[in-house]
Amino acid sequence: MSFSSIVDFVVLAAIWGASFLFMHLAVGEFGVVATAATRVAVATAILMPLMLAQGHGAAFRRHWWKACLVGLLNSGLPFLLFAFALLSITTGLSAILNATVPLFGALVAWGWLKDRPTGSRVLGLLVGFGGVAALAWDKASFKPDAVSGIAPVWAVLACLLATVCYAFAASATKRFLSGLPPLVTATGSQLGATLALGVPALWLRPQHMPGTQAWLAVLVLGVMCTGVAYFLYFRLIEQAGPSRALAVTFAIPVFAILYGALFLGERVTPSMLLWGAVVLFGTSLSTGLLKLPLARATA
């Protein structure tokens, strides 16, 4: 990757690591659907005038429907699922589960784009999914959370379903939106998510006006963690490819765990760190970022 792509990578990891913190702060008062819908609506309001000011209106009119459909998978559904999950599990665990995106991305690329993994990448898929299974089993309690009433197992499954959505969206972006300016793709994806979530959010709006902290959290989610972040993300896909762009999820748990410990007092357990490390190791193998000497010798 170029130096500018590396900078985008690190900044994006830091921003998306913070998104779990801000979702946690917002969802208790806004609710799951309203949190996700407000987040994408704010992002759309920020990105749309920027895109038009950059002179991308014609490209947007030609491809808006494709970008909107990708937005359902890349923003609408995942934001709903992670907001739901954060009602009963920690931000750090959510971020570690989010790090499985490249694992599912490799499988989707294999089945859809015929990008078949070989050698150490196949081993990485096995190791990564083994780590996910152990991590999920460790947290797979069906006992409802004392505050939310949601069993942690459903939160874990919601996180994994969100990562599958991200995986399909990355391959769809590469196949149908390749060559488009990143700002067009980012704007269209947030618009699509906003249109999809708007009516459900009005129907399931909060019964009471959220407090100042919740409003600030959802605004930061929309501006920084969605608007700015998705522009950087789609620029990474365009410049470095979907596999390297998805690899940003390796670094997100580091920031998310740090933010959760500093600002929410979340406890990080040894088993969480152990299986999280296994997931990251398997994911790095599955994407080809890390190759075992033995696999190279026999390839």
pTM of the model: 0.84
**Can you tell me the distance from the alpha carbon of 35 to that of 20, in angstroms, rounded to the nearest whole number?**
12
Over range 264-289, report the average pLDDT: 80
pLDDT tens per residue, range 215-260: 999 999 999 999 999 888 888 887 877 767 777 877 888 898 889 9
Q: At what angle do helices 229-240 and 32-53 cross, to 10 degrees?
A: 60
The upper half-sphere exposure of residue 166, i.e. CA atoms within 13 Å in the direction of its Cβ, equals: 32
287 — pLDDT class (breaks 50, 70, 90): low
Burial class (CB in 10 A: 0-12, 13-18, 19+), 173: buried
**Can you tell me the distance from the alpha carbon of 108 to that of 270, in angstroms, rounded to the nearest whole number?**
31
Phi, psi (rounded to 5 degrees) for 181: -60, 135
Is residue 89 classed as helix, strand or coil in its secondary structure?
coil
pLDDT above 60 for 51: yes
pLDDT tens per residue, range 77-98: 999 999 999 998 989 889 888 8
In this predicted structure, what is the pLDDT of residue 25? 95
Higher pLDDT, 3 or 78: 78
pLDDT tens per residue, range 96-124: 888 888 778 777 877 776 666 667 777 87
Q: Using H for helix, E for strand and C for coil, what is the string for 97-159?
A: HHCCHHHHHHHHHHHHCCCCCCCHHHHHHHHHHHHHHHHHHHHCCCCCCCCCCCCHHHHHHHH
